[in-house]
Amino acid sequence: MQVLNTNLVGKVLGTYRLEALIGKGGMSAVFLAQQLQLARYVAVKVLMPDVMMDNSLYEEFLIRFQREASLIAGLEHLNITPIYDYGKHEGIAYLVMPYLAGGTLRDVLARRGALPLQEALTYIEQAAAALDYAHAHGIIHRDLKPSNFLLHPDGRLVLADFGIARMMQGNGKASLMTLTGTGAILGTPEYMAPEMIQGGQVDSRTDIYELGIVLFQMLSGAVPFEGDQQFGVLMKHLQEPVPLLHYSNPAVPPAVDAVIQKATAKNREDRYASAGALTQELKNAMNTATYPVADQRHYAPTILASYPPPSDWSAPTQVDSAPIPTMPAVIGTPGQRAPRPASTRTRHSWLAWIAVPIVFVLTLGGLLVGIPQVFPHQPEQPQGAQGPMLAQHSQRVVEQFYQHINARDYTDAYSQWGADFHSTTDYCSFVEGYSRTRSDDVHIDNTTQLSNGTVQVVATVNATEDTNSGTTMSVYHETYIVGQEYATWRIINGTQI
């Protein structure tokens, strides 16, 4: 058996040249690759066997994986990633899939935190459609998590990575089988159903549990159980119920919590029978929401808060200092103001007779002395307490960009550019531009805060690059404009190397 590392960039597998590492899992790595015959970009998933797996077990693993790849290749659904090809080259087994540059649901959650109910429902509906279709064809996924949901350029959510999927037996159930021979668990601890942890039988309701965990994460911005030790996380899945969200996020009604609780029941018999049934219950639960859908984005926190629910829902909370936005006085809709007490009204009327002449005299004085002296022009504020902080933050944005480039984390590097850059430069072109770079040593020359709130960062980049004539050293002088876009600091524009 050949033990592989992820340093396969530049290697040709069959007719596919691996150009950049775009993802890595427990037993596989995904590369951006060019299909030489058709001159198109695809995603190639290379199997990375466990170091402790012997040759006979590895061969069994390859046979089973090839069989399952053929089975999954037969799934034709708008929300399931198709498999183009399967092959083995010089002992390296690989799968070929379409390359989707839209990122993953994990990227969305990392960028935005919690999602509003309506958006979460849209994603759940598509995920449920894919799961019910796969289940109907005897396939269970068993590793549902945000990073396995890809975003198609047309906006669709697409389920990928059936790498540890299992074909159901005639009775609709399948036994958990560990392929590594080391007792390692196949799956992701933060999302695993209790029966998977215990090594019991799994079926379609195992996917329902994991989908419930994904729903919880979409509405809260975090998984329900976390910890440094995987064993501790697994024990929580076995023993503790998923926390209730409506206590920390008023935009999540108790009925939605009830859907999550049923989906993540410890006993699979108590869960929904299908993903479609979960979706329908979620729709019904959303109709019980106290706040309009438009207000959910305003109230959704990016992390779970630790404060108790307010006893007076009309009072300000720690989520936001503003009152509930449905109140006319807050949103500015026409409405009659509550009358003041008579004594207050009388006192204010008496003060008004004195205030009017005073205001008149002050205004006349302003005209005589000169408006610029009464209201002097405020010069541009020098770089004060916030100036250095903004400059340092913008400097870090540029430095982190080059750190991602040096680590060949092209997806993270690409995400640091703003929307205007993405509209003119697709991901493939971006990777092509940097794929020959061995390392970039960046030195920040100066930073300047601009009047529009952005920061200009001037940098010198010493680049070590591979060219047709060999390795060369180049020096670039770059100017970047860093600013806030969608609540995230990004490189708005600048020179692309």
Burial class (CB in 10 A: 0-12, 13-18, 19+), 198: exposed
Residue 56 near residue 49, CB atoms below 8 Å: no
Distance (Å, rounded) from C-alpha 104 to C-alpha 157? 9
**Residue of 143, 203, 207, 440 marked catalytic:** 143
Does the annotation count 107 as an active-site position?
no
Distance (Å, rounded) from C-alpha 449 to C-alpha 451? 7
Place of tokens 């876009």: 485
DSSP string covering 64-102: HHHHHHHHHHT---TTB----EEEEETTEEEEEEE--TT
Distance (Å, rounded) from C-alpha 140 to C-alpha 133? 10
- Closest residue by Cα to residue 261 from 240, 230, 235: 240
Specify the pairing of strand 139-140 against strand 166-167: antiparallel
**Rg for the chain, CA atoms, rounded:** 29
- Closest residue by Cα to residue 26 from 196, 157, 176, 148: 148
- AA identity, residue 77: H
CB atoms within 10 A of CB 295: 18
Distance (Å, rounded) from C-alpha 67 to C-alpha 156? 28
Distance (Å, rounded) from C-alpha 245 to C-alpha 252? 6
Place of tokens 């006085």: 329
The separation between CA 410 and the C-alpha centre of its own chain, rounded to angstroms, equals 16
Residues with a catalytic annotation lie at: 143
